[in-house]
Amino acid sequence: MSNNERFLKNYKILEVLLEEYYGMRANSHNSSSIIRYYHELRKSYSFRDRERAVKLDTCRTIRNTMAHENVNDAITVTDDFVKFLEDEIKLLVDPVTAEQVALNINRAFTCTLEDDARKVMEVMVRRGFSHVPVMENGNLYGVFSQKIIFQWLYYETATNIKKGAKIKDFAAYLPIKAHTGERYVFVKKDETINEITRMFEESRGHKVKIGLIFVTEHGKKSEKIIGFITPYDLIYY
């Protein structure tokens, strides 16, 4: 089978898979699953998705040219474009999951209620962290964040954080339900990367945005934390 034949075959497979994914009527003349997919990728939070959108649109142009013009013999599709469509098919058949994207909690920077607050803040500044999960006995107690620090200074009418202060001194502001400036989402470990990206994108249009997405076995708050995802984890994924 030539590259041209493989390209056209893969394009059709991708088109059918996307029709199933979007619940569209097959061969609809009113809409195209490929075009819908292109627009989703183009608007994605992920830089890699936007690159895929450009390439997908090129594939669409090549396919339309081959299908509607008698130029098949004049066009030779490269291995790169054939592989691109194969990879897109694989992503739909076997999508990347939240567990694969998440930073494993055992490798992440976390803190406990007894940790020195100023030392935790030092790491946050040095490494550019805006959120640090607070763990107690292997479970999530809450989140220590830049907004928490600001709220604490405001409501406690404090002018600084004294030397020797502990994370537990911020206890009233740490639990997930106590956060007012942002929210946290829990998802199951096999949630797809497309759904994760959609959550962050929709959050951008709300006053209270998602700070972190926590990954657990079944997406329940009561379960052990497997890892967490930030918006920045998706930029180049």
Q: Give the pLDDT confidence of 18-56 residue by residue, as tens digits.
A: 999 888 876 555 568 999 999 999 988 788 899 999 999
Spell out the residues 6+ positions from residue 43 whose beta carbon is closer than 8 angstroms to its own. Answer: 201
Which range has the worst mean pLDDT, 119-123, 173-177, 231-235? 231-235
**Which backbone phi and psi does 114 adopt, to 5 degrees?**
-90, -5
- Both tokens of residue 209? 């945005």
Please tell me the predicted confidence (pLDDT) of residue 68: 75
- Burial code (b: 16+ CB inside 10 Å, e: under 16) for 197-235 equals bebbbebeeeeeebbbbbbbeebeeebebbbbbbbebbe
pLDDT of 155 strictly over 60: yes
- Domains in the chain, CATH or no CATH each: 3-91 (no CATH), 100-234 (3.10.580.10)
If you average pLDDT over every residue of the chain, what do you get?
Answer: 91
CB under 8 Å, gap of 24 or more: what pairs does 232-235 form?
A: 233/101, 233/102, 233/103, 234/45, 234/46, 234/101, 234/193, 234/196, 234/197, 234/200, 235/45, 235/46, 235/47
* Rounded average pLDDT over 164-192: 95
